[in-house]
Structure 1
Amino acid sequence: MADVLVSKVLEELTSIVAREIEQEVRLVVGVKKEVQMLTTKFQLIKGVLVDAENRQVKDDAVKLWMRELKNISYDMDDVLDEWTTAIQKSQIMGDERVSAENKRKVRCLICFSCFRCREVGVRRDIAVKIKDLNARLDIIVDQQHAFNFVSFQKETKQVERFTTTSFIDVAEVKGRDQEQKAIMKKLLTESSQTPSLHIISIVGMGGIGKTTLAKLVYNDDEVKTHFETRIWVCVSDPFDEIKIAKAILESLTNEAPNLHELQTILQNIRKSLEGKKFLLILDDVWEENSAKWIQLKDCLKCGSPGSRILVTTRKEIVASAIGCIDIHKIGQLSAEDSWFLFSQIAFFGWSSGEREPLEHIGRKIASRCKGLPLAVKTLGSLLVTKKSKSEWQTIMDSEVWELENAEVDIFPHLWLSYNDLSPPLRQCFSYCAIFPKDHLMEKRKLIELWMAHGYIKETTKKDMETIGEEYFQNLASRSFFQDINIDDNFYDISYTCKMHDIVHDFAQYIRRDECFSMEVSSSVESSMESVSNEARYSRIVLAGKGSLPAQFEGGFVVTAVLSSFFNELTCLRSLDLSNRHIEEIPPTISQLIHLRQLDLSSNDHLKSLPETLCELYNLQTLNVYGCRNLAKLPDGVRKLVNLRHLHIRGTGPILMSKEIRKLSFLRTLEWVQVFYDREAFSLGDLESLNLLQGLLMLSGLANVDDMDEAKKAQLKKKKGINRMRLAFNGKEREGRIRHDEELLEVLEPHANLETLGIHGYEGSVFPDWIMSLLNLKRVYLTRFKNCEKLPPLGKLPFLESLVLEEMERLKKLGVEFLGIETSSQQEISSSVTVFPKLTTLGLGPLKELEEWDDGMNKNGEENVTNFTILPCLCSLYIWHCPKLKLEALPDYLLQKMPAFQGCLTKEERREKAKQILHL
């Protein structure tokens, strides 16, 4: 971690000096020279960090040196952030001053003089801190020379890589029977559809048992009979094409080839394999550059049909790069199989009398391994010589990363995966140590936290959110995250995940002495005293499950408690006070000048936010989701110039300042309530917010009076918005039908839109732009008073879900709804697929719906050839449609659905539909 911290400080030192020059902002005389000295020293230190990282494992003095270096790096990060904030504040206050001069020149001059005095004080304070850090770094440099560190180019800790072979004692393996059968089925099943080179991969985290599973398959008697030739090659890293090719050839000829040219080696492989059905195992593959595999793959296409390549890897991207047809994600051992494996090792050679008293605690220890065979074996081996209950209890109570054998037996496997990460990804992964085990992490919040701690750097081509998304997917594909779940409730799509306990232990091991986590269940003062001085990442949970401390009166966090926290934890980058029954945020929150992420969500009793919150110039995320009584945002919200995410849904009718339009970095503004108030935020204020992403919900659209103002919103330019809900609720007015039609026409979104919901629309027609949204996947139309016809939604090529609710005048779903174009009343002219991707269709309540025109002529025959309707439909929901009779439903609607697949005739389908649809 030290190399990452030092690199970050060097980058910040360079950028802040450049910014100071560019923006003509000075702090105090001499600071620039101090910064240059700091930069030189950090550069010298950076060159020896690889040697220092390796030596600290066995040398306690080096370990202390590394710890102090990290502390200085963190302190330097804080000071540089304070410097940046001071420059930013100076600019904002200057802009405020210019704006105010025209109003009250005399008063503004006095206020500005006071500000200048305060600013000089801040500048001097920063200068003193930088000089102090320079002095501390001098000691580090002197000690560096004394240690005689060696400079290395490569910046990763070298971990011994294991060379695997195909040999295995099958009797010792437990719990892989089903997975072995699944892999063998893929290997042995042949079909005319199988490509010439069928590649299968086993993917999973280090220590999960990928190699073991591959060995079971490789040594199976049926596999031995099926394939003429079997080859086992341990690939590992770094990737060496000639070395791999030589290993394959040596396995085929039983002789070490004395060849050096790849061309010659591949020719010999081709000669040996041509016309043979072979199985090649490539174990422990890391190389993800597909170009490096091309020549070897082309050579291996010489085998007879049925040949297979089986790859084991930790990374899904590797499987894709090689060209895998099937990816098998290996699972964890069951609790019973874990216990069986553990007891075989831990109780080896024990008598039943020695074993029996420890079985109960042994089962608990085995369960802690969460199905990771490597951890089960390691802990079992650790305990085989320990026969007292106290020794077993000590192991049970310890964190895995605290055990002596962890670094030797478990963590090397994880070090390999960790070292394969880029420095920013290492920070993102190890940061997760701050959460408790089995914690459900939400992807969006996790990315916002990574941003808050500076792990994600924006580029000219990608913003931080996009890079954060890539980081998350990268870590997930390498099995650092598991149990990834997608919660899709139409407008909101949230991703959650967990970390395997052993992976979490490894993250804690990396961040040891840096992370601090506690629940406040006593006085705040004593809680603050227990925070380690070296802890740089603190997770403090207020009012835990136990009894509440005195400061939490009646379950509510009082202002004095928060003030105490704000005074003590001034270096916070992120602060989560969600669902804490908070009634008031104290003005002293302005002391948290480093704060990037503030979560105040689900505090029902919070009615207002202090104006001093707007002095948090570094704030990137403000979450007030679900604060139902929050009436307005602070007037000075324009000062939050770095705000990117404003989570404001579920707050009730909150009055938003027009000043939000000045937040040019804003990516998230999920909800805009349109008030009948010209001083409040309006649709026109969206004009400058072209970086908005994700969900946008516009409510109170009936209150819009000025169509020209609505046009300024220019939703069509906001290509990042992929989900939108338009709610036409608001005041009653004359000419409502025409008003809603004109407004809906104006609110045309970008063609990237994937989800569209329209609520409370009182117009009678749809705008043409709906059919130009070719990327639409979900459409939800509800509470339409006057629409009698629907647009040709059947033409939308990617529409997956369609819900029609409370459409008061909709009587018929006709051929125009399906998107069938007719040249006359009797003839359907085109040959197309209608609703080609639709899987879910919901209808109801539709009190007037009585007919579904299915395009049949009077004789019940289709007027079209090669015509397909709803080929992917899986779910059909029809409720509260009193006039719709079962006979009105076209048979193709039932024919395509899985629930009716067993019904061979139209009559059988109708009978079953009576039971399912209640029509």
Structure 2
Amino acid sequence: MAELAIITVGKVIEKLGSVAYQEFGLIWGVKSDLRKLERTMSIIREVLFDAEKKQASDSLLRIWLGQLNDVLLDAEDLLDEIQYQALREQAVATYGSTSTKVRHSFSSSMKRAFPFKLAHKIKGIRERLDEIAAEKDQFNLTIIRGDAHIMRPLRDPTHSFVHPSTVIGRYKEKKKIINFLMHPDGSKNVDVISIVGLGGLGKTTLAKWVYNDERVVGLFQLRLWVCVSEDFSVTRLIKEILKSACDTIDDNWNVDTLQTKLREVLRDTKFLLVLDDVWNEDRNKWIELKDLLIDGFEGSKIIVTTRSKLVASVMSTDFTYNLQGLSQHDCLSLFVKCAFKEGADEQHPNLLKIAKQIVGKCKGVPLAVRTLGSLLFSKVDEREWEFIRDNEIWKLEQKESDILPALRLSYSQLPIHLKRCFAYCSLFPKDYVFNSYLLIQSWMTHGLILETSTNKKLDLEDVGDLYINELVSRSFFQDAEGDYPSLPIYFFKMHDLIHDLAISVAQGECSVVDSDNKEIARTVRHLSFSVEDLGQEVPKCLDKLTKVRTVMSTKALESLPVSLVEACILKFKYLRFLDLSESYFEVLPSSIGTLKHLRYLDLSCNRRITELPNSICKLHNLQKLRLTRCTRLKWLPNDIRNMISLTYLGVTINSRCLLNNGFLNSLQFLLVSNCPSLQVLFQGMDGCLPNLRTLVIARCARLTSLALIMNHLTGLEDLIIYECENLSLTEGEDNQDLKLSLRNLQIINLRKLVVLPLWIQVSANTLQHLHIEDCKNFTALPEWLPTSNSLHTLKIINCPMFSSLPEWTDNLTPVRKFQPSGYFELIRKCQPEYPPKITRVIDLELDEDEDTWSTSAQENGSQATSTGA
């Protein structure tokens, strides 16, 4: 509770003290009220760091903090309303009113009424805050200075793509399980083995160790791994097994086709299937699945990992291994590995003694040991180790099998900004595969990523990467990996118990709407929907909610009910993050225009929607709009220029022209992809995109020329063109007044490219990276290129008509593992919509025997892109 209050009060005080809000207050006659609000908040902030330390053991203090959080968030919403009003007036002043005179008159009356409503709301918040401030003295809170709004320096970031740690202990367990795998029962084709144990004991790790053992690899023709978790849908599991066996399946297959394909794949094949993390206690569901698996070759095996002995019984296992905790010796070895640099434990014998005492409290659970060890990594102050050993959290009442106190202790030691980001992850289901890019975007939308005190020039996306790295290093995230280590997009998971911890600390703030349809606290501000079929009725658990800021779906719903979309838009006027991707409604409600606070709107992959209501243009706060893969979308609204905060637009459109006189002054990134009818990007666009930095055009088959727009994109730095078969870059290139300053130019699979256009020469002194790939007719590099003083990297890949390099390239040094500054940021922004080839990382080598370039290409494939989409 206190963590959220500390961050929110810092942001509100900063806004109230800014010149902009002081001017707003002066204009609307509320400057004095805003200053009084700022003073009260400053007084409360002084004791919040002490409240953070004491909240775990004081239930009344937690209630007080909950009330404080509520009013602080309301204050933040109020300041956002002030910002929205200012942006609205700016839009009208810049572009004029597009409404009728009657509407304009009504708008004017609303404008006159705004100061009165504003003063009334400020008064209400001040009164509530004054009452809360008066109650703080009963908790004997002391003043502790601190600045939560500036991020504390993190330890050196670890590499995100960690390899699984060497398993400590479990040799006997592994031997017994492998022994059973190698000796079939003989009475039936398929045997079932269960590994049963408490959460965090390492059941999955043991299963992986067995699964990858050389003897096991050689024993089975087919090995399959499926993460089951709480959703034991037989249809879903059939799909997952087929994906593990065949990589891809046809989404149009019905259930009957799926079961037929599964039986064909497994028939007469000796297979090993691991069903990891099973919770299902319904025997009928298991029998339905097992009937499809029993035709495997004699000696086939199924390994099940579960916390429940009842699950093992329901699945009629032939061999059950009850996993116990690690020995004290093994636990200490694991702790030392996590807490000390190699060999450093011998230099700190006193710390080793304390380590033995800490390990004893972890009850042999590797997850608890690893988490606390990671927390103390490289710390040599004995007082810090003793604080962990003697912490009051260990004394809290707990069940015999409950290890959450150990994990909560690790959570309590997180910096405040990481606590809020971690709690937000409770919105996602167990075993969810996180996409780093999308998670960072959601954190940014809610202001959870703060500037660093050490390097204020870092983009917030880069700071978000540091956050994830830190959470990985502390064992809050695991299995972090990417298809290629150099990519900035990566994927990771949370252990079930860590997920339980996130739910525990996010209570009252985040909630998941699932099939249980349980009652949700009024204070909840972040919602995710995690059910496959919601029906047409709006869940009753939403009735009491009004202040929700996040609505997302964590599963691809076959049909997101329009009634639910409308209900969320009408009820939740403070939404900042609205993810309706993968939905299939045809009409976006016009009430979308009432969401004054909305920053992020995702409508991507909706293949039914045909148009957007013009009311969407009232979203003056909107920063990111994703419309990619909306294949039936006919056009963008005429008044899109009123979205004056929009910095990112990704769009698929079924129209001849993308924008008609669409002045998007704030737009910095534009992605146009999969537009089969697009012939012209912009019409009447003089000065329409003054701040555009990145333009990505992909798979627009009828687009023929960019000549008319290049003169207007004076701020363009990155230009990427991919698979536009009729696009000619040289058409109409007689314009001599171009003012381009390109840094990155990437041209991939452009059939009409023979030579580079003359207009690129304008960027001779700024071009850093030139990448030409799969251009079958490309023949030669321009003669002006050697005069470029800025060129760092030259890539020419799979261009058969380009047979040799000019002599002047002898002075260029090939760059191995292309990793230029700014390139990763570009890839990150393109993800997850952009086609997979753009995320290639290629080693370039100069063939010593021939005067030609040879390439060794290692590409990430399509999985990273499709997963994120």
**1:573 corresponds to which residue?**
576
> Is the CA contact (8 Å cut-off) linking 2:585 and 2:606 kept in structure 1?
yes
Aligned mate of 2:587, from 584, 589, 595: 584
Change over 3 Å in CA distance of 1:686–1:725 after alignment to 2: farther
> Is the CA contact (8 Å cut-off) linking 1:207 and 1:374 kept in structure 2?
no
Change over 3 Å in CA distance of 1:765–1:670 after alignment to 2: closer
**1:232 corresponds to which residue?**
348
Q: Which amino acid in 2 is paired with 1:91?
A: Q
Aligned mate of 1:804, from 798, 803, 822: 798
Secondary structure in 1 matching 2:581 = coil
Change over 3 Å in CA distance of 1:116–1:547 after alignment to 2: closer
Aligned mate of 1:545, from 532, 541, 549: 532
Q: Which amino acid in 2 is paired with 1:507?
A: A
Change over 3 Å in CA distance of 1:143–1:771 after alignment to 2: closer
Give the Cα separation in 1 of the matches to 2:681 and 2:617.
20
**1:40 corresponds to which residue?**
39
Aligned mate of 1:411, from 408, 411, 425: 408
Change over 3 Å in CA distance of 1:642–1:434 after alignment to 2: same
> Is the CA contact (8 Å cut-off) linking 1:738 and 1:763 kept in structure 2?
no
How far apart are residue 467 of structure 1 and its match? 4.2
Aligned mate of 2:525, from 518, 529, 536: 536
Q: Say whether 1:837 aligns with 2:828.
A: no
**2:393 corresponds to which residue?**
none
Q: Deviations over 1:302-333 (max 9, x none)?
A: xxxxxxxxxxxxxxxxxxxxxxxxxxxxxxxx
**1:247 corresponds to which residue?**
none
How far apart are residue 534 of structure 1 and its match? 1.3
> Is the CA contact (8 Å cut-off) linking 1:484 and 1:497 kept in structure 2?
yes
- Equivalenced residue count is 611
Q: Which amino acid in 1 is paired with 2:511?
A: F
How far apart are residue 620 of structure 1 and its match? 1.3
Give the Cα separation in 2 of the matches to 1:283 and 1:740.
75
Give the Cα separation in 1 of the matches to 2:529 and 2:7.
29
Q: Say whether 1:444 aligns with 2:444.
A: no
* Higher relative contact order, structure no. (Cα contacts within 8 Å, ≥ 6 residues apart): 2
Q: Deviations over 1:693-746 (max 9, x none)?
A: 485559579644865x532323xx434x2x611666559xxxx89627768997
Q: Say whether 1:601 aligns with 2:604.
A: yes
Secondary structure in 2 matching 1:713 = coil
Give the Cα separation in 1 of the matches to 2:750 and 2:639.
33
How far apart are residue 639 of structure 1 and its match? 1.4
Q: Say whether 1:49 aligns with 2:48.
A: yes
- TM normalised by structure 2 equals 0.59
Change over 3 Å in CA distance of 1:478–1:219 after alignment to 2: closer
Q: Say whether 1:485 aligns with 2:481.
A: yes
Q: Deviations over 1:833-871 (max 9, x none)?
A: 87563899xxxxxxxxxxxxxxxxxxxxxxxxxxxxxx9
**1:757 corresponds to which residue?**
748
Matches within 5 A, 1:280-359: none
Give the Cα separation in 2 of the matches to 1:737 and 1:15.
47
Give the Cα separation in 2 of the matches to 1:647 and 1:208.
50
Give the Cα separation in 1 of the matches to 2:126 and 2:140.
21
Matches within 5 A, 1:841-856: none
> Is the CA contact (8 Å cut-off) linking 1:207 and 1:375 kept in structure 2?
no
Secondary structure in 1 matching 2:408 = helix
Give the Cα separation in 2 of the matches to 1:563 and 1:702.
36
Q: Which amino acid in 1 is paired with 2:668?
A: L
Secondary structure in 2 matching 1:139 = helix
Matches within 5 A, 1:165-314: 174-175=169-170, 209-212=334-337, 231-232=347-348
Q: Which amino acid in 1 is paired with 2:440?
A: I
Q: Say whether 1:152 aligns with 2:147.
A: no
> Is the CA contact (8 Å cut-off) linking 1:741 and 1:763 kept in structure 2?
no
Secondary structure in 1 matching 2:348 = strand
**2:507 corresponds to which residue?**
512
Structure 1 gap segments, 5+ residues each:
157-171, 180-205, 221-229, 236-280, 285-340, 347-365, 377-399, 823-829, 841-870, 877-888, 900-919
Aligned mate of 1:613, from 608, 612, 616: 616
Matches within 5 A, 1:438-837: 438-456=431-449, 461=457, 464-476=460-472, 479-487=475-483, 494-519=489-514, 530-541=519-530, 544-546=531-533, 548-549=535-536, 556-557=559-560, 559-648=562-651, 650-653=652-655, 655-669=657-671, 680-681=682-683, 688-690=690-692, 692-693=693-694, 695=696, 703-704=704-705, 709-714=709-714, 717-719=715-717, 721=718, 724-725=720-721, 729-730=725-726, 739=731, 750-751=742-743, 753=744, 755-757=746-748, 759-761=750-752, 763=754, 769=761, 775-776=768-769, 778-784=771-777, 787-789=778-780, 802-804=796-798, 810=801, 813-814=803-804, 817=805, 819-820=806-807, 835=814, 837=816
Change over 3 Å in CA distance of 1:512–1:836 after alignment to 2: closer
Give the Cα separation in 1 of the matches to 2:399 and 2:662.
49
Q: Which amino acid in 2 is paired with 1:412?
A: L
Give the Cα separation in 2 of the matches to 1:402 and 1:813.
72
**1:76 corresponds to which residue?**
75
Q: Say whether 1:129 aligns with 2:121.
A: yes
Secondary structure in 2 matching 1:413 = helix
Give the Cα separation in 1 of the matches to 2:73 and 2:538.
31
Give the Cα separation in 2 of the matches to 1:686 and 1:488.
38
How far apart are residue 661 of structure 1 and its match? 3.5
Q: CA RMSD in A?
A: 5.3
Secondary structure in 2 matching 1:813 = coil
> Is the CA contact (8 Å cut-off) linking 2:51 and 2:141 kept in structure 1?
yes
Q: Which amino acid in 1 is paired with 2:107?
A: F
How far apart are residue 141 of structure 1 and its match? 1.8
> Is the CA contact (8 Å cut-off) linking 2:510 and 2:525 kept in structure 1?
yes
> Is the CA contact (8 Å cut-off) linking 1:518 and 1:540 kept in structure 2?
yes
**2:233 corresponds to which residue?**
none
How far apart are residue 894 of structure 1 and its match? 12
Secondary structure in 2 matching 1:92 = helix
| Percent of paired sites with the same residue | 20
Q: Deviations over 1:381-407 (max 9, x none)?
A: xxxxxxxxxxxxxxxxxxx99999545
> Is the CA contact (8 Å cut-off) linking 2:50 and 2:143 kept in structure 1?
yes
Give the Cα separation in 1 of the matches to 2:843 and 2:682.
46
- TM normalised by structure 1 equals 0.56
Q: Which amino acid in 1 is paired with 2:532?
A: K
Give the Cα separation in 1 of the matches to 2:444 and 2:817.
37
> Is the CA contact (8 Å cut-off) linking 1:702 and 1:740 kept in structure 2?
no
Give the Cα separation in 1 of the matches to 2:818 and 2:461.
31
How far apart are residue 433 of structure 1 and its match? 2.3
Q: Deviations over 1:399-452 (max 9, x none)?
A: x99999545433223433x1xx3x444433332222222222222222221221
How far apart are residue 503 of structure 1 and its match? 3.7
Q: Which amino acid in 2 is paired with 1:143?
A: E
Change over 3 Å in CA distance of 1:23–1:713 after alignment to 2: same
How far apart are residue 574 of structure 1 and its match? 0.7
Matches within 5 A, 1:876-891: none
How far apart are residue 599 of structure 1 and its match? 0.8
Secondary structure in 2 matching 1:656 = strand
Give the Cα separation in 1 of the matches to 2:689 and 2:344.
66
Q: Deviations over 1:167-206 (max 9, x none)?
A: xxxxx96159999xxxxxxxxxxxxxxxxxxxxxxxxxx9
> Is the CA contact (8 Å cut-off) linking 1:207 and 1:413 kept in structure 2?
no
> Is the CA contact (8 Å cut-off) linking 1:702 and 1:728 kept in structure 2?
yes
Give the Cα separation in 2 of the matches to 1:666 and 1:718.
9
Secondary structure in 1 matching 2:612 = coil
Change over 3 Å in CA distance of 1:835–1:516 after alignment to 2: same
> Is the CA contact (8 Å cut-off) linking 2:635 and 2:654 kept in structure 1?
no
Change over 3 Å in CA distance of 1:217–1:208 after alignment to 2: closer
Give the Cα separation in 2 of the matches to 1:485 and 1:813.
37
Give the Cα separation in 2 of the matches to 1:624 and 1:603.
8
Q: Which amino acid in 2 is paired with 1:59?
A: D
